[in-house]
Amino acid sequence: MSSVQGRGDKCLLVGDDKHLLAGAVKNASYSMVLQLLSRMLTFALNAFVLRYISRDMLGVVNIRLTLLYSTTLFLATEAFDKACLSRLDTHNWSQVINLMWCTVPASLVVTGVLGWVWVNLLENPEPTLMPGYSVGVASFALATVLNCLSQPLFVLAQKHMFVKLKVFSQGIAEVCKSVLTVFLVIYFPSLGLYNFALAQVVYGVVISLVYYVYFIYYIVVYGKKDDTFPFTSVSQLFPTSTRDLPFIDPRQAWLTVSFFKQSFLKQLLTEGEKYVMTIFGVLTFADQGIYDIVNNLGSLAARLIFQPIEESGYLFFSQLLTHGQPRDKQKQDSCALAVDVLSCLLKLVVLTGAIILVFGMAYSYLALDLYGGGLLSTGTVCITYIYNQKMVVFSLLFLLSSLLLTSVCGSVGFILANCLNMAARIAHSIYYILQYFRGSKFKPLHDVIPHPAVIASLLAALIATLASERILCCDQGLVGRVLHVGVGGICLLAVLALVYLKETALVTFIKQQYNNWHKH
């Protein structure tokens, strides 16, 4: 784990790359637990509230208002987080805290502008059928500002690998939000949107409260005992002026501006279909609500596995390699470790994605039918699994394809547009990796393709499960469904067995990280 040497204003990062990797693995593990908890609560909440609220309200909350929250929070914090988590030869913790506190005024500006757009420029739900829309917008915007109050402490926790804190804070906040929503929907159904607005504000309060309680306790108890922790006083968690130094490190300020451009485009790509729904009104509020539920089910694996790997991978690589430096200027030992980890992570996500694709083909309908009944497995919604200047091209490609395909295919068009978008981003990422390591001994893409035996097992599993679905599911009753699930389980075990036998390098890597996880 990276640590900070000394307590002076000037801090030199020193650390063991293996400890850094172990911390990143632990961060990914806990993030997966967090995502699992979050998704389970969300699915349970949606399954419950579907029986108490209209599909139109579900669409307004889960698409319109949640999009406002995710957009404002992302734009107000993402660039600052990345700049402060990027590796620099030296850094000053007072300047880092000062920069992170800039997220609060940034959130006020972003929420003010986008809140006005959400109320005045976008189509509002019918006031007589769904009162409180403006209050809902204001509440979700307020939740963003409340969340930003904890951002300086979030970066501090990430830098020092306090990985459990993120899981605990967001987990507790999700539980409070979900329990409060259920309580309000049951006992005060006439309040409508006000119930969801209050629950979202409570979510923001709880997250910040957990961070402050934890770090106040840590500083009081361990601040003077832990030589790796830079603060000995609670007042140091707030903006302070530093003698003979600018209020903010100019290098990190420049990085923030650079990352903000990427963040804006990344958010457009991540939530692109919701922006199309919101701005162009291609689906009704009711259809948007159902689409969001189905999309959450379809993206379950991506949220549980790929997102934690991506977040922890960024934390690992940003601390291991110096931002903006070409390959030949990096430390070769660090570069070699980065290539090894990248190669294994790519193999892992390729195998995971292939397994999801194969088994999703035969079990997506059953999953939808069990979760939401005929409301989700029939009707208008159908599901399949799924850098600056170049990101502009990707954004335009996604928006244009979304508009074109939704006019032809309805909500299915969003899925197809996402496929085109991801294909373009994958192609560009492959090109970038090849260019970055061109002329060197490093070949991170050399072993990405799974072993032929594993590919053959996946094809056999696809044929077997599709045949099982056609013969056993879903018109053969409970027995047929159980047999269909049994066939899938046997096929999955066979695929995993071949992965264990043939993908020895990946298995060794996973075992090593598992052992490091326990040691550190």
Q: In this predicted structure, what is the pLDDT of residue 1?
A: 33
Q: Count of H helices and E strands in the chain?
A: 21, 3
Q: In this predicted structure, what is the pLDDT of residue 427?
A: 86
**289 Cβ contact list (under 8 Å, min separation 6):** 55, 56, 57, 58, 59, 60, 61, 62, 63
Reported residue count of the chain is 520
In angstroms, what is the C-alpha Rg of the chain? 24
Q: In this predicted structure, what is the pLDDT of residue 129?
A: 80
61 vs 280: CA distance, rounded Å:
17
Question: CA neighbours within 13 Å on the CB side: how many for 436?
Answer: 18
Query: Looking at the whole model, is its pTM more than 0.75?
Result: no
Q: Could you list the pLDDT tens digit for every one of the 520 residues in the chain?
A: 333 333 333 333 334 555 566 656 666 666 666 666 666 676 677 667 767 888 788 889 988 999 999 999 999 999 998 888 876 556 788 999 999 999 999 999 999 999 999 999 998 898 888 899 999 999 999 999 999 999 999 999 888 878 778 878 888 898 899 889 989 998 998 898 999 999 999 999 999 999 999 999 999 998 888 887 888 899 999 998 877 788 898 888 888 888 887 777 777 767 777 887 787 776 778 777 777 766 766 666 666 778 777 777 777 777 777 766 777 777 777 788 888 888 888 898 899 889 988 988 888 777 766 655 544 444 443 333 364 455 556 556 666 776 677 767 766 777 777 777 778 878 888 888 888 888 888 888 888 889 999 999 999 999 999 999 888 876 767 888 889 899 999 999 999 999 999 999 889 888 887 776 666 5
DSSP sequence for 399-428: HHHHHHHHHHHTTHHHHHHHHHHHHHHHHH
CB 94 within 8 Å of CB 242: yes
- Give the full edge-to-edge strand order of the sheet including 90-92: 3-5, 10-14, 90-92
DSSP sequence for 337-350: HHHHHHHHHHHHHH
264 vs 303: CA distance, rounded Å:
20
CB 388 within 8 Å of CB 262: yes
CB 304 within 8 Å of CB 40: no
Q: How far apart are the first and last CA of the chain?
A: 9
The DSSP call for residue 123 is P
